[in-house]
Amino acid sequence: MEIVVATRNADKIREIRAILPGGFKLLSLDDIGFDLDLEAAEDGESFEENVIKKAEFVRSFLAYDCLVLADDSGLVIDALGGLPGVDSANFMGRDTPYKVRHEWILAQIGALGRSARFVCVMALATPAGTRTFHATMEGKIAEKPAGDGGFGYDPIFYLPEFGKTAAQLSMEQKNKISHRGKALLKAVDYLHENFGI
Residues in touch with ligand IMP (CB under 6 A): 9, 42, 71-75, 88-89, 118, 150-154, 178, 180
**Residue 75 CB, nearest approach to ligand IMP (Å):** 6
* DSSP string for residues in 154-169: GGGEEETTTTEEGGGS
**Residue 54 CB, nearest approach to ligand IMP (Å):** 8
Distance CA 124, CA 101 (A): 31
Cβ of 195: how many Cβ atoms within 10 Å? 14
**Residue 65 CB, nearest approach to ligand IMP (Å):** 26
**Among this protein's residues, is 148 annotated catalytic?**
no
Amino acid code (one letter) for 15: E
Closer of 72 and 126 to ligand IMP (Cβ): 72
**Residue 62 CB, nearest approach to ligand IMP (Å):** 20
- Give phi and psi for 108, each to the nearest 5: -70, -40
Residue 192, class by beta-carbon neighbours within 10 Å (0-12 exposed, 13-18 middle, 19+ buried)? exposed
Closer of 93 and 196 to ligand IMP (Cβ): 93
Distance CA 125, CA 56 (A): 6
Q: What are the C-alpha distances in Å from 159 to residues 2, 115, 177?
A: 35, 10, 10
Marked catalytic residue, from 72, 95, 148, 189: 72
Strands 2-5 and 67-77: what pairing?
parallel
Terminal Cα-to-Cα distance of the chain (whole angstroms):
8
Residue nearest to ligand IMP (CB): 152
- Annotated catalytic residues are 72
